[in-house]
């Protein structure tokens, strides 16, 4: 089921303005994009760096309360 189906919008004014938000909702609903090649390698590398930094910060934050 599509949560933002334009055919299920009841109010006429909102139904007319739906097209303006179609691209925004498309980007919102399909946030996971698989990339190939150099772009994919860069995206995965950035994600790994972010994940490591998040883990370190989380460990430091929780250890400050246990000590």
Whether the CB-CB separation of 6 and 15 falls below 8 Å is answered with yes
Query: Residue 23 has what DSSP assignment?
Result: H
Encoded tokens for 53: 């930094």
Whether the CB-CB separation of 1 and 26 falls below 8 Å is answered with no
By C-alpha distance, which of 30, 9, 31 is closest to 20?
Answer: 9
**Residue 31 neighbours by CB distance under 10 Å:** 6
pLDDT tens digits, 37-63: 888 888 888 888 888 888 888 877 776
pTM as predicted: 0.36
Domain boundaries, the chain: 1-32, 35-67
Task: Name the percent of the chain lying above pLDDT 90.
Answer: 0
Give the separation between CA 48 and CA 25, rounded to whole angstroms: 27
- Identity of the highest mean pLDDT range in 3-7, 17-21, 38-42: 38-42
């Amino acid at each position: 089921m599509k949560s933002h189906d334009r055919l299920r919008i009841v109010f006429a004014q909102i139904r007319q303005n739906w097209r303006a938000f179609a691209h925004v909702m498309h980007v919102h609903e399909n946030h996971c994009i698989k990339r190939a090649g150099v772009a994919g390698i860069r995206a995965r590398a950035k994600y790994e760096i972010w994940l490591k930094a998040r883990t370190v910060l989380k460990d430091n934050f929780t250890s400050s309360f246990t000590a």
